[in-house]
């Protein structure tokens, strides 16, 4: 049910009240991985992957590991290891239907982020997967991305959210319990959910 009275309907209308991007914003996009992008990726332990299926239904999913876990193959390609998850495979099945992906990389403590957009595919090359092994366990598959755009995203969102400021964080005693949420949503008792999460986190990271 639509409850909004004023919905923006065109790019022209949107620009009419937002104005034009700055010269820096317009010119900051590059189409290859240069030494600065390489340095950022080498320090980043966390990213989010945005995908959509053939109908345009979207999904966003986190990926994390040691800093530099995303391999730079050359100036146009990167490789993201697919570590064990919940086996829903949302991102991977989306990529099979629609290769366009958007990536957002974070470095803890750094307010600016890095955005990379491009086309992805799923690869199982033995030599590549072996290089991404951890504790003797290599990923079953990896996400290869052909880079189309790279650019730094400004820090305003992280400044407003105070994401890296521990003083702004909610006290542990007031944090919601994800296991309770999962128990309600999945209709499983919370003790079972907590036990499964504990086992997964302790024994199934790689």
Residues 102, 175, single domain; the answer is no
| Same structural domain, 30 and 56 | yes
Q: Are residues 132 and 37 in the same domain?
A: yes
116 and 187 co-located in one domain: no
- pLDDT category at 175 given cuts 50, 70, 90 is confident
pTM of this structure: 0.94
Structure tokens at 174: 């007031």
Give the number of domains in the chain. Answer: 2
pLDDT-based confidence at residue 161 (cuts at 50, 70, 90): very high
Tell me: do 91 and 181 sit in the same domain: no
For residue 35, CA distances in Å to 32, 39, 40, 158 come to: 10, 6, 9, 24
Q: Region 72-88: what's the mean pLDDT?
A: 96
Q: What is the pLDDT of residues 133-147, one digit of tens each?
A: 999 999 999 999 999
Tell me which residue range forms the domain holding 98. Answer: 20-165
| pLDDT number for residue 164 | 97
Choose among 95, 92, 87, 90: nearest CA to 54.
Answer: 95
Could you read off the pLDDT of 66-78 as tens digits, one per residue? 999 999 999 999 9
Strand positions, DSSP E, 53-112: 58-64, 71-74, 77-81, 100-106
């Amino acid at each position: 049910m639509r409850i909004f009275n004023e919905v923006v309907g065109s790019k022209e209308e949107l620009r009419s009240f937002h104005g034009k991007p700055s010269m820096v914003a317009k010119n900051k996009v590059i189409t290859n991985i240069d030494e600065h992008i390489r340095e950022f990726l080498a320090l980043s332990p966390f990213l989010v992957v945005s995908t959509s299926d053939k109908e345009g239904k979207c999904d966003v999913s986190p990926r994390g590991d040691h800093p530099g876990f995303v391999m730079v193959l050359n100036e146009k390609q990167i490789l993201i290891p697919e570590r064990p998850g919940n086996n829903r495979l949302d991102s991977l099945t989306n990529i099979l239907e629609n290769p366009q992906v958007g990536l957002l990389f974070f470095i803890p403590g750094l307010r600016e982020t890095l955005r990379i957009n491009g086309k992805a595919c799923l690869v199982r090359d033995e030599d590549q997967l072996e290089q991404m092994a951890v504790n003797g366990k290599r990923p079953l598959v990896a996400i290869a991305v052909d880079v189309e755009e790279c650019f730094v995203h400004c820090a305003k969102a992280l400044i407003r959210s105070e994401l890296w400021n521990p003083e702004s964080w909610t006290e542990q005693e007031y944090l919601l319990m994800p296991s309770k949420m999962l128990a309600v949503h999945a209709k499983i008792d919370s003790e079972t959910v907590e036990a499964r999460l504990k086992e997964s986190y302790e024994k199934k990271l790689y």
